[in-house]
């Protein structure tokens, strides 16, 4: 069996939001990630991509992608991955029973702020499908704004929306 290696930021450490904490994926999380990915409620949002233990290890070891587990009240509720940098983006899913409570927005905002404020990233984007109204709204709530509507391409099976993180870092003082 392959050996676990987490790709991405070598110095990745937990990122703290108001209601969630994101911590770098560890070897002990692999089985949970496999269970989540086997769930049709997750599969449908990840372009139907399925994983074996071996292919999950490859996925988690990609050089330019840092995988995080999303925790709420100390329990794993989802997965968020960061790719690229200093311009790059996020992908996320929550376990079905964790959705609809604002946890996704909280995690997305916390990570986008971390990339901008702690890592000096100049651009953080997300690319939800246009049909995924809940995701578009969640990213809006996290501080992302719609930049463009795009057609199917090599990386997207349906029309999609490019959104960029633009929350107010430093509110203007009157
Ligand atoms: C997208 C996702 C991460 C958002 O996280 P979340 O915590 O569920 O998001 P929120 O609770 O902030 O919900 C966002 C908005 O959608 C609404 N909403 C949530 N679930 C809904 C549902 N089932 N039906 C209708 N509206 C819903 C919320 O009320 C909220 O509305 P608001 O803008 O008026 O506040 C999460 O729903 C998820 O994992 N979905 C499946 C995977 C996915 O789509 N990933 C994103 C790929 S880009």
Q: Is residue 111 part of a domain?
A: yes
Give 102 Cα–ligand 1 centroid separation in angstroms: 7
Tracing tokens 């329990």 back to the chain, one arrives at 75
User: Cβ distance 48 to 157 under 8 Å?
Assistant: no
Q: Which protein residue's CA is at the shortest distance from atom 48 of ligand 1?
A: 128
Backbone angles phi, psi at 153, to 5 degrees: -145, -165
Structural domain of 63: 15-165
Write down the pTM of the prediction.
Answer: 0.95
Q: Is residue 100 part of a domain?
A: yes
pLDDT one-digit tens code per residue, 76-131? 999 999 999 999 999 999 999 999 999 999 999 999 999 999 999 999 999 999 99
Q: Is the CB of 158 under 6 A from ligand 1?
A: no
Q: Is residue 46 part of a domain?
A: yes
Split into its structural domains, the chain has a count of: 1
Q: Is residue 64 part of a domain?
A: yes
Q: Is residue 35 part of a domain?
A: yes
Q: Is the CB of 138 under 6 A from ligand 1?
A: yes
pLDDT one-digit tens code per residue, 118-170? 999 999 999 999 999 999 999 999 999 999 999 999 999 999 999 999 987 66
The CATH number of residue 130's host domain is 3.40.630.30
User: Cβ distance 76 to 29 under 8 Å?
Assistant: yes
Write the burial class of residue 126 (CB in 10 Å: 0-12 exposed, 13-18 middle, 19+ buried): buried
């Amino acid at each position: 069996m392959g050996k676990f290696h987490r790709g991405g930021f070598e110095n990745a450490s937990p990122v703290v939001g108001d209601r969630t904490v994101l911590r770098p994926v560890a070897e002990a999380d692999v089985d949970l990630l496999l269970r989540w990915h086997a769930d049709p409620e997750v599969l449908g949002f990840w372009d139907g991509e399925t994983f074996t233990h071996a292919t999950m290890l490859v996925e988690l070891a990609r050089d330019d992608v840092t995988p995080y587990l999303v925790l709420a009240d100390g329990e794993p509720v989802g997965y968020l991955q960061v790719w690229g940098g200093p311009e790059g983006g996020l992908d996320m899913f929550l376990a079905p029973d964790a959705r609809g409570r604002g946890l996704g927005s909280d995690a997305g905002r916390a990570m986008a702020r971390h990339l901008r404020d702690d890592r000096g990233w100049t651009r953080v984007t997300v690319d939800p499908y246009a049909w995924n109204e809940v995701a578009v709204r969640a990213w809006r709530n996290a501080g992302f704004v719609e930049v463009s509507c795009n057609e199917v391409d090599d990386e997207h099976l349906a029309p999609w929306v490019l959104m960029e993180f633009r929350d107010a870092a430093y509110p203007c003082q009157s």
